[in-house]
Structure 1
Amino acid sequence: MKFSNMVEDAMQKEWIITNGLGGYASGTVAGSNSRCYHGLLIAALEPPTNRKTFFAKIEERVLINEMYHDLSCNQYKETIYPKGLDYLKNFEPKPFPKWNYQGENWKVEKNVLMPQKENTTLINYKNIGDQTIDLELHPLYSFADFHTTFQENTETDFYSEFSENSFKTYAKYGAQPFFTAWNKGVFTENRSWYKDIQLAVEKERGLPDSTDYYRIGYVTCRLKPDEEIILSFSVDEITKSVDISQKYRKTITDSEDFYSPKNEDFYTDLLASSKQFLVYRQSTQSDSIIAGYHWFSDWGRDTMIAMRGLTISVGDQKASKSILKTFLEYVDQGMLPNRFPDNTSDQVEYNTIDATLWLFVALYEYHQRFTDTEFMEQNSSILQSILQAHLDGTRYNIHVTEQGFLYGGQAGVKLTWMDAIVDGTVITPRIGCPVEINMLWYNALQIYNLFCKKLNHELNHEFLEVISSFEVNFSKYFINSEGTLYDVIVPNTSADTSFRSNQIYALSLPFTVLNQEQQKIIFEALKYKLWTPFGLRTLAEDDAQFIAVYEGNQWNRDHAYHQGTVWPFLLGEYYQAFFKLYGNSEENKKRVVDELKELRAHFYVENGLHCISEIFDGALPLDGKGCIQQAWSVASILKLYADFELHTIDSNSI
């Protein structure tokens, strides 16, 4: 990616690398920070949660022929300073972030890497020019929860204990220590606050947008051509320069294997990107999935949906089994956790109606992919207990109606994926029988019966009766006069006529109660009203509640979240339905690949580089919004490519 003083472009594009613990390093291509979530070491102290920013950024200067050339960049209220973009010539996001800076008679390459399963960031500067240069590096520190900005205060004094080529720092008394080390050069203590750095994205989001950083000192080093300096920032002690160099070399090799597959195409780049979401959860000592970067943790619903593409379809049985085992162990009153708490002393949350039902779909696809009958046998009793708990009634008034439908919800509680809530008010209240919940319920029953047949278990007649009632009543209650589906019904009482994307699940899930003609009517309506190249709208544009743009403060954003906003992850379900209805011929595969071109371009050159955003505007979806890297956004497209081998006909044009 070439740059020629394109300030706005480079300050808007973001990069991210992760460490498999929930920690990460991220920033803008320009080197400035535009979010409170940006930093060069955001460490997960209780993986994958309790994330804190320790190392915010680094100010770099090249000295040659008695002239300084600043490489860094910061946004202040009245100006951008320094303007290192004047020297930025190229940036590459993989296999790790790499910058090339160049002046009239000097060239410097900068790399940022994170070893896996460590809260450590390594930064390398190499003289790739023909003349000797002096490099001056000023690390800037922070000490704050990653959801917040950092401000100068009397508590933090950044007390440091110095050794040769390293020092240990306590931001304040009793705090988690962190370590700074370098393999060559001289450190000079020179303490100072960098005040009122402006965070442009936080301002757009109506959040605190000014932050302070702290400098303890700086490292100077003379580099001859082809020489390099490596710095390490970690919550784990690293003191020997040889250890830093060895760790850097190993991390380069690991990163090339982890992020840069041998074949250069969209599918393999997606596959590499998808690995950023797989993390180790300390409290359960198992694999988990981060829902999105920068700010989400691991959620039950997101995990069940995303793992279908991130681990199952791509053949990672070990990770798939680890994730499924963990959630199966935490079933309570027939429900899966919606969220494991950030603090291990807090209670696990169970406020979700659909995560448990998605478990059945994930298990079905797991069995289809790996034929692990033993695992199904081991957990069949848990699956039966889940279904029975729903029949008997469980939390939040979740129960089965006489029509065989699954009902749930109570005032002030968000249970479905359309879960935005502002000041205690649920924006899209869906108390009753939501359409996607009921298709998931039907699939859960059918999948359990399928497992029983494969395992030669006796079928549960009560479950069979519910299936029969459901099949008899679904069309009568859910199909409207247009031949499409109501979003939420309360049998014999009310029906929500909002035309929403939730009805796609009546077509895309393994089992359906609709005939092909009914399905095609719904699909064509979805295509006409909700499809965009970046995802499906959550509400039709002609609805009075439709909100065209996702922007502003949290109140405005949450009101728009499911009121027309486009979600990329729904494209996976849309094209699964397309292939089921119209066949997966070569022609249809080419059509899908062609229709994904704009999303593919977004992946490579917009917003988060080698990322797929969480959402897009409903009216004119162009720029990514929300998280820059969302698990189920990436997973849904990855699953399409894996399931239908779309990479075999992908033109690779961006």
Structure 2
Amino acid sequence: MKIEACSDEWLLTFGTGGYASSTFCGYNARTYHGLLIAPTNPPHRRFLLLSKIEESLIYGDEIPFGTNRYVPDVTHPKGYEYIQSFTWGRNYVSWRYSVEGVTVAKEIVACQGVDCVIVRYSAEKGRLKLCPLVGYRSHHDVMRRGQYYFETSFREKEILVLRDGTPHLRVSYSNGRPYTSGYWYYNFQYDVDRILGNHYVEDLFNPFCIEAEGSVELVFYPKRPGYAERAESPRDEISLLREATKAFVVKGKEGYAIMAGYHWFDEWGRDTFISMEGLLLLDGGFERAKSIFRRYLPYCNEGLLPNHITPGGEPFYLGVDVTLWAVNALYKYFLKSKDKDFVREVLRAVEDCLWHYVRGTRVLYWKDGLLYHSGAPRTWMDASFDGTVVTPREGAAVEVNALLYNALMAFNDMRESLGEEPVEEFSSRAGRLKSAFAEAFTAPWGLYDYISPEGVPDRSVRPNMIFAYSLPFPVGPEEMVNVVRNTVEAELLRPYGLSTLSRRDPKYRPTWRGPRAERDLAYHNGVIWPWLLGAYVDFVLRYFREEALELLHYLYPLIETVKSRNGFLPELFEDVPPYRPAGAFAQAWSVAEVYRALRALLGAV
């Protein structure tokens, strides 16, 4: 096998926020790659504990069959040349090697509900030599020699690795002879991080090795062990996506949380509520959804729910749409669960949040019947670097007004379903907003993206207009449906999602590459976001339901991507063939919204 053919990534998750991930070849290409990355404050502050295992077959000579990349651009050893097959299952990855004619098998199995990984080897001849490489640092960073002092303690069938005198990693083993090694390995090169302008050179420590004949099982864990047998992945795309949704719903110290993405994203409010229907509600995860609502709603501050809750429990506020996405998720929860008791429990808190939108705050204000916001970035298009906001959109954003109209209408619908009178001011405000919306946002090509504080409409052709027609209560003028559809299909729709900006716009950037500034300039200015397909499919099924089968066929390349990545979808795709995946390897709202969209399309054909 050539190294180019096995440089794709794999991911296994533990249900805690922790994970294992690397490449098919077995070399680490990011700081985020490692066999055991665990949260120190679950599900937050994820730290690398075990990077990889140096692997050799002793059969006459000692023959290494692993693969590493070292500075400067050196590949050693070249164990990928021995790979005969690679399999990525539901909770495991496995390899079969032919090492100088000797068959060697290896599998890595992820435990669930505990930070623990099981590594199993077998060799038909000879003896295996396995040398773990450990580290201790944030998964965003690198480690260099001398940051910590590691030592090893051996017990019966268990090895304890200490870091500066405190327990770092425990290893139980089935058989074999362990012994202290105590070597530093220098200058690992992480190729993806190098391209992205991140820290990319790391040193790792080898505290011990173990030699075993036949087969051996190693269980690595920081606190308590787990156990798991390998489980196979389903074959169809819907089942693959359903399985992938489980990776993002994790159990932390404060209850359930939704991780926005792997590898680097933590828990984010906007992503949580956009993803909730696909990750939880479609398959009856109502108790977990309730746990998340109960955790977030007490944080409402002047109407806003937090973008982020820090590992220390401090809320961070920025987005003006997070609360509105939460109301939409609660409405979807109500429609699917029929749970009046829970909705009655939380509806007062939701009402208190919405009153701030209706009455205005320091951030939110009304002008000519529309909701404006001050400051930027406060929408989902929130890229910024070095004090530069790439897509500021300060003023009246089209999707924020669509979400507010939807939230006010959904709130009153839930009240009436509970036998309560609707809030009259919410109804009247929604009515005035709908009238003003049609007058202010209607453009020759569909809808303006936002209106500046000075009342000047932004003429960028972006996908945000689709939310005026996709939400349960659409605010967009009916007469513009065909115009919006024609524009979106002609300028934004791709087989992998919706592009974030028309190719005719001078700000358009189709690729997500290079250092951070270059990537952020492209982030919402042309690259494709798969999560937007959820709204687009809702739009099509509401107004053009007879075209569901045609759209399903159009999305065939995306469906093939689902199959090739074990159900995981990336944050982005570049907007030039071959539509290279970009951004985070696995993104919650990409998986959730594509899963929801494909189920809806299949239900309509």
TM-score where L is the length of structure 2: 0.96
- 1:341 deviation in Å? 0.4
SS in 2 for 1:313: helix
- 1:400 deviation in Å? 3.0
Q: Is residue 388 from structure 1 mapped to residue 355 from structure 2 by the alignment?
A: yes
Q: Deviations over 1:468-504 (max 9, x none)?
A: 2112211110001x14111111476211111111111
Q: Output the CA distance in 2 between the equivalents of 1:304 and 1:84.
A: 44
Q: Deviations over 1:373-410 (max 9, x none)?
A: 11121122112111111123235x1123341x221122
Q: Residue 218 of structure 1: which of 185, 209, 221 is its match?
A: 209
Q: Output the CA distance in 2 between the equivalents of 1:316 and 1:609.
A: 22
SS in 1 for 2:134: strand
Q: Is residue 272 from structure 1 mapped to residue 265 from structure 2 by the alignment?
A: no
SS in 1 for 2:246: helix
**Number of residue pairs matched by the alignment:** 603
SS in 2 for 1:449: helix
Equivalent in the alignment of 1:260: 233
Unaligned runs of 5+ in 2: none
Which one-letter code corresponds to 1:278 in the other structure? V
Equivalent in the alignment of 1:243: none
Equivalent in the alignment of 1:193: 184
Q: Is the 8 A contact 2:394 2:453 kept in 1?
A: no
Q: Is residue 512 from structure 1 mapped to residue 484 from structure 2 by the alignment?
A: no
- 1:36 deviation in Å? 0.5
Q: Deviations over 1:509-537 (max 9, x none)?
A: 11113354411210110110011111111
Equivalent in the alignment of 1:169: 161
Q: Deviations over 1:193-223 (max 9, x none)?
A: 1111110000110112111111112100011
Q: Residue 457 of structure 1: which of 392, 415, 420 is its match?
A: 420
- Classify 1:390/1:183 alpha carbon distance in 2 versus 1 (closer, same or farther; 3 Å): same
Q: Is the 8 A contact 1:477 1:491 kept in 2?
A: no
Q: Is residue 591 from structure 1 mapped to residue 550 from structure 2 by the alignment?
A: yes
Q: Deviations over 1:319-364 (max 9, x none)?
A: 22222222223323222111010334xx211211111000111111
Q: Output the CA distance in 2 between the equivalents of 1:308 and 1:237.
A: 33
Which one-letter code corresponds to 2:241 in the other structure? L
Which one-letter code corresponds to 1:527 in the other structure? E
Q: Output the CA distance in 1 between the equivalents of 2:51 and 2:482.
A: 52
SS in 2 for 1:418: coil
Q: Output the CA distance in 2 between the equivalents of 1:456 and 1:490.
A: 40
Which one-letter code corresponds to 1:306 in the other structure? S
Q: Output the CA distance in 1 between the equivalents of 2:298 and 2:541.
A: 35
Q: Output the CA distance in 2 between the equivalents of 1:124 and 1:330.
A: 45
Which one-letter code corresponds to 1:626 in the other structure? G
Equivalent in the alignment of 1:70: 64
Which one-letter code corresponds to 1:407 in the other structure? Y
Q: Is the 8 A contact 1:120 1:232 kept in 2?
A: yes
Which one-letter code corresponds to 2:98 in the other structure? Q
- 1:102 deviation in Å? 1.9
Q: Output the CA distance in 2 between the equivalents of 1:212 and 1:49.
A: 24
Which one-letter code corresponds to 1:60 in the other structure? E
Task: Name whichever of 506-515 and 306-315 sits farther off.
Answer: 506-515
Q: Residue 374 of structure 1: which of 341, 358, 363 is its match?
A: 341
- 1:621 deviation in Å? 5.5
Q: Output the CA distance in 2 between the equivalents of 1:237 and 1:417.
A: 39
Task: Name whichever of 228-237 and 563-572 sits farther off.
Answer: 228-237
Q: Is residue 323 from structure 1 mapped to residue 301 from structure 2 by the alignment?
A: no
Q: Is the 8 A contact 2:145 2:184 kept in 1?
A: yes
Q: Is residue 446 from structure 1 mapped to residue 409 from structure 2 by the alignment?
A: yes
Q: Output the CA distance in 2 between the equivalents of 1:381 and 1:49.
A: 30
Q: Residue 117 of structure 1: which of 109, 113, 122 is its match?
A: 113
Equivalent in the alignment of 2:441: 478
- Classify 1:19/1:615 alpha carbon distance in 2 versus 1 (closer, same or farther; 3 Å): same
Which one-letter code corresponds to 1:415 in the other structure? R
Task: Name whichever of 626-635 and 484-493 sits farther off.
Answer: 484-493
Q: Output the CA distance in 1 between the equivalents of 2:100 and 2:445.
A: 68
Equivalent in the alignment of 2:140: 147
Q: Residue 159 of structure 1: which of 146, 151, 156 is its match?
A: 151
Equivalent in the alignment of 2:25: 30
SS in 2 for 1:137: strand
Structure-to-structure mapping, 1:93-104, within 5 angstroms: 93-95=88-90, 96-103=92-99
Q: Output the CA distance in 2 between the equivalents of 1:527 and 1:420.
A: 25
Equivalent in the alignment of 2:539: 577
Q: Is residue 351 from structure 1 mapped to residue 318 from structure 2 by the alignment?
A: yes
Equivalent in the alignment of 2:129: 136
Unaligned runs of 5+ in 1: 239-246, 650-654
TM-score where L is the length of structure 1: 0.89
Q: Residue 552 of structure 1: which of 508, 514, 518 is its match?
A: 514
Which one-letter code corresponds to 1:102 in the other structure? S
Equivalent in the alignment of 1:235: 222
Q: Is residue 312 from structure 1 mapped to residue 271 from structure 2 by the alignment?
A: no
Q: Output the CA distance in 2 between the equivalents of 1:60 and 1:610.
A: 29
Q: Residue 391 of structure 2: which of 419, 428, 437 is its match?
A: 428
